[in-house]
Structure 1
């Protein structure tokens, strides 16, 4: 009996490893110890292990949109729903395929003091469900924004950007990596290890995402994956490469966001593997160079990684069912930007104009920058707690206030006073003297008028 029992243990161990390797978007490729030498990176995990392409044939994609079909569908949507959308590209893949984006808003292409949300699908080429569901989402909003309150609220108060396919080349090749066989979810700069710091070595799809975040101030986002059923949140990696829970500064808020998706889903929250249908990435298994952590650190964007289908390539006739399972989750996650958190603008008491600054919350080591044009901020926070929120602008006195955040969102504008310096005071007196002289001359010309009272209150 010893030999069969040993074989059984070996089989069970192999089955467990196989399950993990295909979960959370497939082969995780966490960094092995041998990949680091003297604190450096040997580069062995940037490319996947050599793959056999024969196991994923063209028949598995029957009924799915080809890249050409997807482009036609995106442009057709733009024509059909031109009143609430615009179509644009953020770059091209290795093989030159445009990375098309659908923006949905009542004022597409215009800057407004509203939060922006992005959905990204098909990060891994062999996970195509997301690209299909994102077209379902766009068309559903277009068809229902005049009659459904949730769709109307999103169109009127959010700028929703949808990138159906980040990795069209990988989709064509029926494999995880892009045309250079690089896993795009390991290609971003990492906070713990010196990965992907060479700009010239990054993939064009990665650079496109990074430039996108420099152009648009996203409040939150999510990428759609396949191979499991769970809402994953930061951190994705750990400092010592061990598998254990490692929360980011906004851990409570991320858990709240992940729960919104999970509990709105048909059956994600009833998972037996993940309590509540959510997981911390590092607790599941660490990765490095991931897009999720990079978004939060460098873009100030709260991103989730959503595993939306246990089967990476389900039959195409299952897609409508998967859409129904995920529809309310996808909508509610976008709408959460309006229903929770603290939102407002920062103004100068001197000029009354918006001033560019940042928002911090006491006890949370993360800064959210205000928008460049309107100085609007959208600070996501878990409801049901007391927070001390501070606005900071260079050259101005910082101001903080305590709030109790209920279930609904809160609007909180800040009016900051300029720092008083000797130079600034003298300039103020000089401007005031010129203003009084001009006012005196004006009164001599037009006669006395009713005095105007200016209040600083």
Structure 2
């Protein structure tokens, strides 16, 4: 629904106002903090609607009973009756499980008012309301499609369960067999395959010089908007490629795109059973064995920061590709099979940039997600690439239809508009073992969390509008994988050198080359001093300029072998084993002693 909300004062009342779309489920859920009696929540449908049910769910504070009133002009109100008396509806008894109440008879009105009668009394009330009903014809056509977003894209706007998701992927693959490939990265706890779709002009192979990008959705099974947006995205890319959309054709031919729409299919199936009306704020969030995938990755931040604080062991912990602790790899570790599958996937494919789509907010969060100071729950925790991450986050937020719109209401209590729709993860709330931090410290991938909508599980009637809200930003974010520098590190024979280290002067975070010797280093515009080094080779340094135009700057390196490496190569070629330096010194000392004797 389109929404406007604020806190105004009228005769001492504090209002939370929701302007709804009203078909067939009036949502998404609307929050309003109400602290001074009489406490009221007023909703404006923006047109005449028939209402049949009221659905309430709550957060830390909840209402235990309430009245419902309706009006056509917002001045004269009629209270829903139960016979001759006002009807008191049962509210919530705790914050997780939503409660659905059916009206005695359907009510036709433009406005609805909720009047709490009793509540969990800890000083405030937070109400989340959905109205079930349907739109009615407007004889004057005054409210017809006012402020409503429509789309011209011919896509499958619905919620897809596991079987339907798999079928949709198959349809996309059959439509675009030359640029798509379906594969899976593993299985869920319940044995459901974790399917992904690859979109590239050469699906199934890594092309030298072509960056790898991914979108992941559904780590929390009940945050379904990201899942549907990724399914819509793969349809859109296929259709636009076939229509010869120059922008999409260039993106597909120059990028290897991977889309994983459901990382937690077990959790999604639970949420799907409840539907958008009764799914609640947490049903299906965790895996089948009760693990939150979002913070189930190894905590590499602590390893890095302890090494930096104890300078005597700093050399043992690099600033990149930090090894996963042995305890995490053991079978007895509390690690979801879905988490292990993602880790193996990210270690196999040299991803450069990725976004994990989440729900319940409108903001883009960038790492670090974990605070560095002990005992703090919120604190800015920038990475060495903070300026790059800020740009990546802003590239999505600024092209989203609502994230940076100063006129929109906040989703809940946090106002992210003052930060242009972006936030450092740790300054929001600290999380140890997040996917974002793990990706940055263990792989080359720069990963961000993209919260794509206020409602975790919007009604399918709202999907076209949510698609329009996110479509441009989904594409723009993918295009950012082509910013910075790229190149190939080769030896004098022209062969690519794998695992060569690429260092940028002034940035305490390195990356490594892929198996073919190619690399991609995300950087903002500017001039950089870049060094390539590899074991057994002499390092090489050059200046690389990054411009403002889209497209990474080519910055190749050719490394020559060190003298010692060259000697070993020659001796091995002629069948002789190289002599280690300590052994050679001992042999020379023995000769000198014999000569003296």
TM-score w.r.t. structure 1 length?
0.78
Q: Deviations for 1:309-334, whole angstroms, at most 9, x for unmatched residues?
A: 01111111111111111111111111
Q: Match of 2:328, SS?
A: coil
- The Cα of 1:241 is off from its aligned counterpart by 4.4
Q: Match of 2:420, SS?
A: helix
* Residue of structure 1 aligned with 2:469, choices 325, 329, 333: 325
Q: Deviations for 1:363-409, whole angstroms, at most 9, x for unmatched residues?
A: 1111111110x2110000112x2211111111111111123322132
- The Cα of 1:198 is off from its aligned counterpart by 5.1
Q: Does 1:352 align with 2:447?
A: no
- The Cα of 1:191 is off from its aligned counterpart by 2.4
The equivalent residue for 2:456 is 312
The equivalent residue for 1:67 is 162
Q: 1:418 to 1:382 in 2, by over 3 A?
A: same
- The Cα of 1:421 is off from its aligned counterpart by 3.0
Q: Quick one: distance in 2 between partners of 1:407 and 1:387?
A: 14
**8 Å CA contact 1:241, 1:286 repeated in 2:** no
The equivalent residue for 1:449 is none
The equivalent residue for 1:184 is 293
Is the deviation greater in 401-410 or in 89-98?
401-410
- The Cα of 1:64 is off from its aligned counterpart by 1.3
Within 5 Å, which residues of 2 pair with 1:230-379? 230-239=363-372, 240-242=374-376, 243-270=378-405, 272-274=415-417, 275-338=419-482, 340-349=483-492, 351-356=493-498, 357-372=500-515, 374-379=516-521
Q: Match of 1:237, SS?
A: coil
Q: Does 1:205 align with 2:300?
A: no
The equivalent residue for 1:154 is 251
**8 Å CA contact 1:228, 1:311 repeated in 2:** yes
Q: Match of 2:496, SS?
A: coil
- The Cα of 1:101 is off from its aligned counterpart by 0.3
**Is the radius of gyration larger for structure 1 or structure 2?**
2
Higher helix proportion: 1
Q: Does 1:417 align with 2:549?
A: no
Q: Match of 1:424, SS?
A: helix
Q: 1:291 to 1:51 in 2, by over 3 A?
A: farther
Q: Quick one: distance in 2 between partners of 1:163 and 1:119?
A: 6
- Structure 1 residue ranges (4+ consecutive) displaced by more than 6 angstroms after TM superposition: none
Q: Quick one: distance in 2 between partners of 1:426 and 1:319?
A: 62
The equivalent residue for 1:402 is 543
Q: Quick one: distance in 1 between partners of 2:100 and 2:347?
A: 36
* Residue of structure 2 aligned with 1:386, choices 506, 527, 530: 527
Q: Quick one: distance in 1 between partners of 2:564 and 2:329?
A: 43
Q: Deviations for 1:269-292, whole angstroms, at most 9, x for unmatched residues?
A: 235534111110001111112111
Q: Deviations for 1:92-112, whole angstroms, at most 9, x for unmatched residues?
A: 111111100000000000121
How many residues matched? 387
Q: Deviations for 1:427-456, whole angstroms, at most 9, x for unmatched residues?
A: 39x99xxxxxxxxxxxxxxxxxxxxxxxxx
Higher relative contact order (CA 8 A, sep 6+): 1
TM-score w.r.t. structure 2 length?
0.61
Q: Quick one: distance in 2 between partners of 1:426 and 1:170?
A: 55
**8 Å CA contact 2:59, 2:96 repeated in 1:** no
Segments of 5+ residues of structure 2 without an aligned counterpart are 1-33, 40-57, 62-93, 102-130, 133-156, 272-282, 304-324, 407-414, 575-597
Q: 1:19 to 1:160 in 2, by over 3 A?
A: farther
Within 5 Å, which residues of 2 pair with 1:70-89? 70-89=165-184
**8 Å CA contact 1:121, 1:163 repeated in 2:** yes
Within 5 Å, which residues of 2 pair with 1:115-194? 115-146=211-242, 147-174=244-271, 175=283, 176-192=285-301
Q: 1:53 to 1:75 in 2, by over 3 A?
A: farther
Tell me the C-alpha RMSD between the 2 structures: 3.0
Q: Does 1:224 align with 2:357?
A: yes
Q: Match of 2:437, SS?
A: helix
- The Cα of 1:63 is off from its aligned counterpart by 4.4
- The Cα of 1:205 is off from its aligned counterpart by 0.5
Segments of 5+ residues of structure 1 without an aligned counterpart are 1-6, 21-49, 432-457
Q: Quick one: distance in 2 between partners of 1:67 and 1:56?
A: 26
**8 Å CA contact 1:118, 1:163 repeated in 2:** yes
Q: Quick one: distance in 1 between partners of 2:172 and 2:475?
A: 18
